[in-house]
Structure 1
């Protein structure tokens, strides 16, 4: 049983980046993105390994991107089907939806 899900780490390299959670067994859940200019983030992939399934890890990754977009005055383009579904479930995120 999972005691606590590790913190989300942001990694950026130029215009590309990812939000990642590394589990105690080394499994990585990630959401990858590309920055499009100063004010837009394009989410193109969310991957959650079986070790994290059913724990809301994918939703946590998208939520973190939304929080960071709000704080930075950015908009998000959710090309990833999972991220797009999360935006449909959370109309309150409309302020950061491009």
Structure 2
């Protein structure tokens, strides 16, 4: 039996294009965000992922990455992974192989991403 006072509000992904940022919103609160750079023709360079301090340790980062990758897939776009969290998330996971830009995939692993210079591969 469910608690009538506890209503699950689904997460909402918002693209704040003017700020180059995807936001994960739950119950009206932004709980995580990812900064990006949108390049032509339709490539998104995923730069940095952050989860609100109070939400850390609950898998919110993964929820955000899944939502962003699915959104970019729906736009028929591709991604270049620069953010160490995204690079690590994608490592060994074939679910999003079709979304990774074949010419500019980004860093090959988390260590390279953490020690990279942050330059966006063109």
**TM-score bucket (shorter structure):** 0.7 to 0.9
> What is the aligned counterpart of 1:34 among 17, 25, 37?
37
> What is the aligned counterpart of 1:18 among 21, 35, 42?
21
1:38, CA displacement in angstroms?
Answer: 2.7
TM-score (norm 1): 0.79
> What is the aligned counterpart of 2:63 among 60, 63, 75?
60
Retained in 1: the 8 A contact 2:12–2:26? Answer: no
Counterpart of 1:78 in structure 2 is: 81
Task: For structure 1, list consecutive stretches of 5 or more residues without a partner in the other structure.
Answer: none
Higher relative contact order (CA 8 A, sep 6+): 1
Q: Which has the larger radius of gyration?
A: 2
Retained in 2: the 8 A contact 1:8–1:20? Answer: yes
Count of residue pairs brought into register by the alignment: 95
TM-score (norm 2): 0.66
